[in-house]
Structure 1
């Protein structure tokens, strides 16, 4: 296989790609790693010679080649391992997914996780190659940045250079991003400005929203993705090129693994409205990420546009489709 791997478009992006994948955990310099609270089946690695600043979950192809990167930032108080099925879906199409565990417990201020994400990004050029499978090489000139929930806010903040990175991002993805507790209650540092198309981002952006994320299930708590601080507001501030998909009848956590842990699943069921199964939403998010990265990195927008035109057989029904060209 050539040093620069061509991403295959023969298989539809909502289905598993042609690459076999490896899921591994890498310890941080402090020696901390995933506590396996979700019974994650990934292999545990010793601390490498140049350890990352935060523990990592990495999904990569097993076959030889050079592959683009996707940095993925987890949601508030969630584990990076809860996204293992999503990351493996993306990796099976020829990408290296890297998900840091940004914190164990945190308050309302996301400044620390933004700085941690920046530090991890800066580590990639020095340490990533040493922890990947043999003959799997990272393409550091093609780096996508994604995040879910408050991780989506952190991804936007990092792309807006609220913390400096040595690598340049080429694409940005917000998955049901949230910038606070409710309308008018942004958490620090605020990212939304409420000025249309105010985000000065030198890269294409995709925002995916959940139709049920803004629906309150429990009268004692706000919805998981409240109006005024959710995906709609993030997309309003994006300049072209940008796209916005909202999935009908699925909730804020429906792209997570089928099983996370009993406590989280109990809390999710109490606080949020969810779809009947996580698999359709997870396949849509994974496939949309793949299609968007192909368009951003290789100029192949056919499959991304097919999603928007309805020509693609998506596993979910979309209630909103917007392209800003």
Structure 2
């Protein structure tokens, strides 16, 4: 709470400065790879670990398969739980998660399902179970010199995973650990207003989200446009980033990236039928790298601000240092 209030005051002072103030002179390197070398580790869940080839078996296996991305160097690092989008694999976000981890974070990305219906209740419970597992099981999977700081914990999700992240933050399932920062990456709450998937998250009441944490919503400028007449838009109006941000209380940040689409933060090479479909179903930008770098960078800046008390990079982005992309919307609620 002290970090949240300190960062809120810092950003409040920044907002009230004149346009010729120090913001303009601040630059940020968060859009580039950080100083840490990273490693990706795939971990089987408690339902499959007994048949896994690796031995010995894990003392406390996770409730869902995980992709863990961490710095290789010694240190104590904040954590980010990242929730994948609808019918996507957590591995499709490997480049994005490596970017975040390279700046000094441990990222935990559960694979929630392979096939799913409209109801996301089980996904919310699974993310809660994964979060609860962290305190008893995570240290068994990390090198002894890599220490997780469970008191500095962020939660993020993309698309339907963004909805799931908000639902968990709104306590639609219980967790033993407390989140301090919440990020929705082009979150989607269904097909249209009035066609929300259960359980609905949006209430359409401004600033109604009762969240004791900082929030950030990132939107894609092309997400609400159709790729072709055969498919609906991937982030339809009425249930997308605009609506999520309207319900956030301060401190809340909002960035909409111009000329990039709903899936443009995924890896360049997404394999298999699902991977190929990510290039066909949604309207895309010219390439994925710029969007991926921006999202990785702004997530790092946000986490540094609200988990580490260093708001300089987030201030720089709000002041116009947007790296490889152009933004069509920047808003902030104190």
2:331 aligns with 322
Confirm or deny that 1:154 pairs with 2:158. no
Please tell me whether the aligned partners of residues 174 and 208 of structure 1 are also in contact (alpha carbons under 8 angstroms): yes
CA–CA distance in 2 between the matches of 1:175 and 1:193? 19
Cα 1:32–1:321 change in 2 (3 A) is farther
1:206 aligns with 216
CA–CA distance in 2 between the matches of 1:277 and 1:46? 42
Counterparts of residues 117-128 of structure 1 (less than 5 Å): 117-128=127-138
Counterpart pick for 1:19 among 36, 41, 47: 36
1:172-198, CA deviations, whole angstroms, 9 ceiling, x for partnerless residues? 000000000122210000000000000
Please tell me whether the aligned partners of residues 27 and 313 of structure 2 are also in contact (alpha carbons under 8 angstroms): no
CA–CA distance in 1 between the matches of 2:144 and 2:270? 30
1:24-61, CA deviations, whole angstroms, 9 ceiling, x for partnerless residues? 0011101169x9xxxxxxxx887411100000000001
Q: How many residues align?
A: 307
**TM-score, normalised via structure 1 length:** 0.91
1:114-161, CA deviations, whole angstroms, 9 ceiling, x for partnerless residues? 000000000000000110123101000000000000000000000000
Matched position secondary structure for 1:137? strand
Bigger relative contact order, structure 1 or 2 (CA pairs below 8 A, ≥6 apart): 2
Counterparts of residues 302-313 of structure 1 (less than 5 Å): 302-310=312-320, 312-313=321-322
Cα 1:270–1:54 change in 2 (3 A) is same
Counterparts of residues 228-267 of structure 1 (less than 5 Å): 228-267=238-277
CA–CA distance in 2 between the matches of 1:108 and 1:301? 38
CA–CA distance in 2 between the matches of 1:242 and 1:32? 40
Tell me how large the CA RMSD over aligned residues is.
Answer: 1.8
Cα 1:319–1:63 change in 2 (3 A) is same
CA–CA distance in 1 between the matches of 2:243 and 2:200? 13
Please tell me whether the aligned partners of residues 40 and 67 of structure 2 are also in contact (alpha carbons under 8 angstroms): yes
Counterpart pick for 1:286 among 296, 301, 320: 296
Please tell me whether the aligned partners of residues 294 and 322 of structure 2 are also in contact (alpha carbons under 8 angstroms): no
Structure 1 segments of 4 or more deviating over 3 A?
A: 44-47
CA–CA distance in 2 between the matches of 1:79 and 1:269? 14
Please tell me whether the aligned partners of residues 270 and 276 of structure 2 are also in contact (alpha carbons under 8 angstroms): no
Confirm or deny that 1:85 pairs with 2:102. no
Matched position secondary structure for 2:250? coil
2:46 aligns with 29
Counterpart pick for 1:221 among 216, 231, 237: 231
Cα 1:87–1:47 change in 2 (3 A) is farther
Task: Point out where structure 2 has 5 or more consecutive residues left out of the alignment.
Answer: 1-25
CA–CA distance in 2 between the matches of 1:78 and 1:264? 7
